[in-house]
Amino acid sequence: MVDHPAVEVEDLHVSYGSTPVLVGVALTVPAGTGVCVTGENGIGKSTLLRCVSSLQQPDSGEIRVFGARPGSTPEFWRAVVTTVEPPTWYPGLTVREHAELVCRAHGQDPEEAGIDEALERFGLGGHIDAIPPSLSSGQKQRLTLAIALIRPSSLLILDEPEQRLDPDGRQEVASLLAQYVAGGGSLLMASHDDKFATASGAQVTTMESLSADAS
């Protein structure tokens, strides 16, 4: 995996009907680095992240994640965590049980993985026995990110992770993302908060600068 960039996108084109959204987009995320794509609402950031996450097929162009086409393989999903799609919660499972389930699915012992500490760090220590639908929107976002970070991975693809977080939550998440990148993980995210992105260890780049018509 280390021989390849985490993400390589070449000449990516996506249109919705007759409306082009991505026009010749190119992007590289070297392994072990973070890149944050910024830009106005509707410019195509989520579309790009969806394509890199294999959740959407582009009209044309090349995408490689660690040198391979992203897709529905266990190898891809062992390496990649994406929060581009809103999470689905299992009926009747508590916050802690969701974290346990994800750990077990990735071959981790929940106790050794330190899920209680992780949930505490994300401000969810008082909610471990609640079910996720009962949480506030910011707490749900904290849980989504806690679960994304607790399991092993090589690449995080995060769509506006700062959304709905209070200032302390943003600071905490930025610091954990910076640790993830410093520890060799790769990060591709979209954000409207340059300060948060930089604190997360990501290099900020505009969506405009990635397009073929950028000049």
Ligand X SMILES: Nc1ncnc2c1ncn2[C@@H]1O[C@H](COP(=O)(O)OP(=O)(O)OP(=O)(O)O)[C@@H](O)[C@H]1O
* Cβ contact 156:186 at 8 Å: yes
- Give yes or no for residue 47 binding ligand X (CB under 6 A): yes
Count of residues near ligand X by CB under 6 A: 10
CB within 8 Å of 192: residues ≥ 6 apart: 38, 160, 162
- Gap between the Cα atoms of 162 and 204, Å rounded: 15
What SS3 state is found at 109?
A: coil
Part in contact with ligand X (CB under 6 A); list of ranges 38-46, 75-83, 146-154, 198-206: 38-46
- Gap between the Cα atoms of 30 and 40, Å rounded: 25
Q: Pick from 1, 4, 13, 21 the residue near ligand X by CB under 6 A.
A: 21
Part in contact with ligand X (CB under 6 A); list of ranges 42-50, 83-91, 106-114, 179-187: 42-50
Part in contact with ligand X (CB under 6 A); list of ranges 39-47, 87-95, 106-114, 138-146: 39-47
Minimum distance, C-beta of residue 156 to ligand X, in the bound complex (Å): 17
- Gap between the Cα atoms of 12 and 61, Å rounded: 4
Positive or negative, the CA dihedral 56, 61, 66, 69 is positive
Part in contact with ligand X (CB under 6 A); list of ranges 34-42, 101-109, 148-156, 177-185: 34-42
Give the nearer residue to ligand X in terms of CB position, either 44 or 161. Answer: 44
Q: Pick from 45, 98, 140, 142 the residue near ligand X by CB under 6 A.
A: 45
* Cβ contact 206:37 at 8 Å: yes
Q: Pick from 16, 62, 90, 212 the residue near ligand X by CB under 6 A.
A: 16
* Cβ contact 26:10 at 8 Å: yes
Q: Pick from 42, 74, 91, 183 the residue near ligand X by CB under 6 A.
A: 42
Q: Pick from 43, 63, 149, 150 the residue near ligand X by CB under 6 A.
A: 43
For residue 31, report the phi and psi dihedrals to the nearest 5 degrees. Answer: -60, 140
Residue numbers of the site for ligand X (CB under 6 A)? 16, 21, 39, 41-47
